[in-house]
Amino acid sequence: MVGAARISPKKRRKTRVYALAVGALVQLSSLPCWAQAGHVSNRCPRLGGAAYEELDARVLLLVEGEDGSSDLPTVVCTADKSWVEWRGQRFEILGRGSLVDEVVDIVEAQLHGAERRADADPKTTEASAVAAGQPMLERGGGAPPAPPAAVQRADPLALRATDARGGGISVGFETERVSSGIGLATGPAFDFASSVGPILLGGREAFRFTTSGRQVVLMDFEGSAAYGAPFNPDARLGGVLRFGAEWMVAYPEGNSGQAIVAPVADLGFRLAHSFGLVGLWFGIDGRFRFQTLSLQSRGRLATDDLSASFTVGVDFVDWSRK
């Protein structure tokens, strides 16, 4: 064409390269941002490998697009406890389920809590009313209610003996010298208790059988008030006071028997060691009978008014938090 400017092949190649570069930049800028700027910080030795990858992916899905913030939580574990640090707050991990599920639940609860606070904001309510053409709500004269606590905790299982509420059941083997005429009597003893503050209230049922030629059975049914071991797993020593009734049954011939009952009171001391849910204990009890138990069975059978017994037992403690 006459009068048209001629462009050299070298300049033409440069122009194509510039155009391709600009087009690539435009395409890259138009792609959605699929990579999260950060990740969940892991300061928990128990969280690693596949568990951490699952936690990181689930948390990123929850916080993506919430408020545009790249601030992500940090999971921290020590020998005693574990927690989540996020947005200047600390949320304790209670150990109700898996570590990954609890952390995700904490993050989700905080995000939904933020949504509820935004919905309850008076400015949000006012804007919604104006947009819907509804009358404005006037502020009342009373004081606003107190905000809920940042962390609401239930009563999980205790992780240490010092946190256990105490109480439970116990199975023991008791030996008592009943009197010089009856001799030794041995048998099982069952105790149970529940904590009422620092005091443990419960009861006991015990059976003792004579080891001599006389066939005598002693049965106790008593209520008890105790303190310390063995139903408090954090205590080594304890004491118990019991009051109830004791039956003595004698079988002089065949299946025919004689029985008598009297009120009794016991004072006992305990030495125990806890191994978690199970503990071992040793006890010494002094028994006072308000009335002598006496039967005529091929001669007179009578108990001492004051006697002592020794018990070795195993206890199963209630590990619910105080």
Measured CA distances, 26 to 13, 30, 33, 34 (Å): 20, 6, 14, 17
Domain 41-131 has CATH 1.10.10: no
Measured CA distances, 243 to 138, 156, 209, 270, 311 (Å): 66, 34, 21, 17, 18
CB contact at 8 A, 278 and 316: yes
CA-closest candidate to residue 184, choices 289, 308, 286, 314: 308
Measured CA to CA, the distance from residue 291 to residue 294 in angstroms comes to 9
DSSP-derived letter for residue 195 is E
Range 71-77 average pLDDT: 88
Is residue 27 over pLDDT 50? no
CB contact at 8 A, 244 and 222: yes
The gap from C-alpha 207 to its chain's centroid, in whole angstroms, comes to: 35
pLDDT bracket for residue 267 (50, 70, 90): very high
Range 5-13 average pLDDT: 53
CB contact at 8 A, 232 and 197: no
Domain 164-317 has CATH 1.10.290.10: no
The structure tokens listed for 267 are 């004072």
CB atoms within 10 A of CB 46: 9
**Length of the chain measured in residues:** 322
Task: Give the pLDDT of residue 261.
Answer: 92
Is residue 35 over pLDDT 70? no
User: What are the residues whose beta carbons fall under 8 Å from the beta carbon of 237, sequence distance 6 or more?
Assistant: 228, 229, 269, 270, 271, 272
Q: What is the pLDDT of residues 96-142, one digit of tens each?
A: 888 889 888 988 888 877 555 555 555 655 666 555 556 655 555 66
- Ordered by start, the domain boundaries in the chain are 41-131, 164-317
pLDDT bracket for residue 30 (50, 70, 90): very low
Higher pLDDT: 172 or 55? It is 172
Measured CA to CA, the distance from residue 60 to residue 103 in angstroms comes to 12
The structure tokens listed for 32 are 């959605």
Is residue 277 over pLDDT 70? yes
Secondary structure (3-state) at 125? helix
266, containing H or E segment: strand 256-274
